[in-house]
Structure 1
Amino acid sequence: MTDFSATTATPPRIRRRQILALVLLVVTGVINYLDRATLAVANEFIRADLGLSLGQMGLLLSAFSWSYALCQLPVGALVDKIGPRWLLGMGLVVWSLAQMAGGFASTFGFFVLARIVLGIGEAPQFPAAARVVSNWFPPRSRGTPTGIFNSASPLGVALAPLCLSPLIAATSWHWAFYVTGAMGLVAAVVWVSLYRDPVREELTEEERAYLDAEQKVEAAPQMGFAAWAALFRHRATWGMLLGFFGSVYLNWVFLTWLPGYLRTERKMDLAYAGLAATVPFLCGFLGALIAGWASDRVARMAKSPVSGRRTAVVVSMLGMVGFTIPAALVESNVAAIACISVVIFLANASSACSWSLATVAAPPSRVASLGAIQNFGGFLGGALAPILTGFIAQSWSFVPALLTGAGIAFLGAMCYQFLVVKPIPEHG
């Protein structure tokens, strides 16, 4: 079948809707990650104010990830059933109120509860984004938009210390939570007001042909528990779940521990460590953008969209492994930061490619479901990474902790390579 998307210009009305959707996804994604990172930026102030131990802070840092991971399983099916407009809108309201509640926290227990609710509210963001991309882009053109919405993750992490540290210094750590929570409530109104899913009856023949390029339009089974559970009968689902576990585990080793690693293991002072910790995530922002564009090119040259996007994921993950090893072992701080920057670049490239893989490996009616199952595996890795890394570093040093992360990422790459070999059929 002709690759319509590669040979024909995008219809003007579709192009406008695509741009609007991506702008909204990037804005909400940046707010999503600003909210996640607020606790890390305000870490020392919160510990001092509430009298928390390092162990309690570790539990507080991981509370978000556990609820976020567990909610991925039902939320993907809900996105496919209800649609991204309303579910992401509701998620924005819930997570923004939870973020503001964190600013009012005066006890450890209340703060943990606020972070748990934050994880629940933020769960629809990326499954909804994957669904939006599958709704508005044909299969061989989904890498670039997926890279764009994924770029919000490292951009939000990079902006957090730059934006929130001055705010905390000028006011208090409480206001960092109030302001970012208020931003989310405004974004919820804008998202629900402006975003719409495509309605086939309102599309022209040219617009339908563009969106349906390279995929068969079948009558989809009614979305329910049986259709969702059927995904687990396929090797591709398990390959993506286990593979993303490895990718996100290594990414979150650096996401949660990089400032502490630089100060503890690399003996950097506070100011230099803060700057050094920002650079890798700016590289991650570029990684997500470049990977999305590159994966579209690879997919168009590959035998199938699945094999092309899987190859992009595996190559990125093997690169993460390859650069983590010298990052752990070299004596030079500059060389270590350079290696870590490449790892974060490739980690976000891998993430973008993994989400674009979900849009072509899943049946059209269950894109968000498969993406969310994959994300569930990833954030099990994300929840485990800070705890296991801290335990290993406390018992030995950060060197074996980083090498452990590299080993887990390698196993994840092999899961993608050998288990994700063909798309899941609509009625399978």
Structure 2
Amino acid sequence: MSDVISFGPQAGLTIPPWDKIDAKPLIELRSVSKSYGDFKAISNVSLKIYEKEFFALLGPSGCGKSTLMRLLAGFEIPSDGEILLEGNDIVPIEPHKRPVNMMFQSYALFPHLTVEENISFGLRRMKLPKDQIAERVDEMLSLVQLTKLRRRRPHQISGGQRQRVALARSLARRPRLLLLDEPMAALDKKLRRETQLELIDIQYRLGTTFVIVTHDQEEAMNVATRIAVMNHGELVQVATPVQTYEAPVSRHVAEFIGDTNIFIGRAEALEDGMCRLHDSRLNQSFLAPMSGKLVEGGEYYLNIRPEKMEVSAEQPTDGSNCISGKILDIAYLGNLSTYYIDVGSGKPLSVQMTNSQRTTSQRFTYNDAVWISWYPVDGLLLDR
């Protein structure tokens, strides 16, 4: 079977490059650090990003993701380490001479220029022939579906359209790498979702490598081929969206990516690859698959996602893990409802249930006594 060349969220990979030993990365960071006086913004980061990837840098404010992007753009110089593009060291190369472009969060459009003049600005700086500039602008306008608005100025178009102008301007110079700094932060939720789909489609058609910085977990999950979760200037986990959500390497990643429930306790090994975790706060034990050799006396975290749990009025008898509680709050979101249930651990458990039938009332209401259950195989044991 031959390798699939194109890939992305909408094009299943046969052999992704990050799983191939001999695959050469487009971008490689080798032991990169960045310090400002005594403060270390980036600490010993090594990372490979491959051609045609839509790569996401994800983390809370202050985690170092924007600093890492500025290092790639050339706006900052690393204190230590190397940054390679196609095997060549780009640290000494000035930002405007790198085959890298950046789309800023503010879009940074020139208010006195029209849409087409904004798109052509960088091309004119490159002193390309006028016919090539016109051809490239027409291509970009068609790509972002703004041909009919080419004569308008930024204040005459919507926020979503300004975002597309900024994207077209960034792509017009045909960079090998496009950096996107919180590109959808200013858009409302519905428009953000539509724009995410447009970005995926444009990136897939062009084959340009995109690196997006975001603190929005849902956005990263929607657009990225892989996600690098950062915390305190370090890479915590680099994986596909599915791997990041279903197999987080730590409690920090599990709690940062989506909603989750955590039980804390000591674990003991059982037969058939299973273990039992005892949560002393609840004085209850739960079964889970063993994810490695257990350290006797060590503290472990049992991670269960809200959608993998069930709420029932009666105690389950099918051998599932279960615990009783009382409903404190209900968040109705149309397609699903999230129940927040007090089980006596201090922090309520959250359980999501799909509203698969049309109804004007909830199955359960406030202060109802209920049972929460889940299959042991749906839990994930973490040691940190």
TM range (shorter): under 0.3
More strand by share: 2
Normalized against structure 1, the TM-score is what?
Answer: 0.20
TM-score (norm 2): 0.22
* Relative contact order higher in (CA < 8 Å, ≥ 6 apart): 1
Q: Which has the higher helix share?
A: 1
